[in-house]
Amino acid sequence: MDRIRICDLLVRCILGINENERREKQDVVINLTIHTDLHKAGKSDRIEDTVDYRALKKRILSMAEGSQYLLVEALAEAVAELCLDQQGVQQVDVCVEKPHALRFARSVAVEITRKR
């Protein structure tokens, strides 16, 4: 299976269980590996024959920026569902990273894999 990667997509959203996390949007970093068949697109050089990752990015940003999840896990699941709704996506690996979520740690991340 071929892959498309979206690396270090920066999103600002409400995410967390603590009161101070519920007041202001914070930075969240999303990394995706989209598993799909790129053979046809490689031959045709047509956007219609591949996963439109620009459109997918816009959908993810819109959903995440308007969300108010308590858990990083829930945001990761929502991102995975959006990806699998996109035509041609067979599997997606999602990593959602929340910088400075823990004292003395650069970040906390949740990684999930979902298949169609």
What is the distance between the alpha carbons of residues 56 and 62, in angstroms, rounded to a whole number? Answer: 10
The answer to whether the Cα torsion of 82, 83, 89, 92 is positive or negative is negative
Contact assessment for residue 89 and residue 35, using Cβ atoms and an 8 Å cutoff: yes
pTM, rounded to two decimals: 0.95
Which of 43, 57, 98, 115 is labelled catalytic?
A: 98
Average pLDDT along the chain = 97
Give me the residues of the chain with pLDDT under 70, please: none
How many angstroms separate the CA atoms of 95 and 76, rounded?
A: 7
Which domain range does residue 61 map to?
2-115
| pLDDT tens per residue across span 33-63 | 999 999 999 999 999 999 999 999 999 999 9
Q: What is the CATH number of the domain that holds 103?
A: 3.30.1130.10
Q: How many domains does the chain have?
A: 1
Helices (H), 6-100: 39-44, 53-65, 72-85
The reply to whether 57 belongs to the active site is no
